[in-house]
Amino acid sequence: MALGHDTVDSLGTVAALINTAATGPDALLTPADLDVFLARERFSGSRTHTAAELRAVRHLRTGLRQLWTADEERLAVGVNQLLRNARALPQVVRHDEWGWHLHCTSPAAPLEERLATEAAMALADVLRGGELDRLGTCAAPDCAAVILDLTRNRSKRYCDTGNCGNREHVRSYRSRRAATQKAAR
C-alpha cells in the first residue's frame, strides 16, 4: 500500500516530535522552542504560545513514542484513544500549498488535539496498510531516535537526527580492519 502524502508528512512530523527528546537534551523546553519546531514542520492552525500548550505537546510526545514501537493491537487501541480524546470529526480539506487531505479537528482546536489526530490518522493508515515495519528505532546502540523507513526495500536502519549510520559504518570498518591486522600477525 502506498502511503498518501499527508500520511507521510504526518509520520515525519510525529518522528521529528518524538526525536526532540530521543537523543541529548530535550529540544522542546520553551514555547519558543515549540514555535521553531512547528514552523520547521509547517504545522498550521491556532496556537496559544503558553507553557500549558508546551506541557500538553510534551505529554503527547511521550504517548506517541510508545505507539511508534507498539504491536498492532496496542497501536489500534492507542489510535482510537487519541481520536476519542480529540473528539475527531474527519473532513477533507485543502489549504495553503497542500492538496486535498484529511483534518480531524477544527483549525481552532488546541494544538495537542490537532497533533494527536494527525498522528492518529497517519498511524491508522500504517496499521490498515500492514506497514508497521516502516516505523522503527535507530539501530545504533547509543541512539534512541525513531525512524520512518520510506525506502522501497525497507532497509533504513539509522536515524536522521545525528550521524549514527556513518558512525556505525566507521566502527564496523575499524573492527574489520583490526581483525585483519591481528590475523596477519
CA distance 81 to 181: 56
Average pLDDT, rounded, for the chain: 92
Q: Note if the pTM is more than 0.95.
A: no
Q: Residue 146's closest CA among 132, 130, 157, 154?
A: 157
**The CATH number of domain 5-184 is 3.40.50.970:** no
pLDDT in tens, 50-106: 999 999 999 999 999 999 999 999 999 999 999 999 999 888 888 888 788 888 988
**What single string gives the DSSP state of each residue in 100-144?**
SEEE-S-TTS-HHHHHHHHHHHHHHHHHHTT-GGGEEE--STT--
Question: Residue 1: pLDDT band by 50, 70, 90 thresholds?
Answer: low
Q: Residue 128's closest CA among 120, 116, 136?
A: 120
Predicted local distance difference test score (pLDDT) of residue 129? 94
| 120 within 8 A of 57, measured Cβ to Cβ | no
Predicted local distance difference test score (pLDDT) of residue 136? 96
CA distance 146 to 158: 9
Predicted local distance difference test score (pLDDT) of residue 2? 80
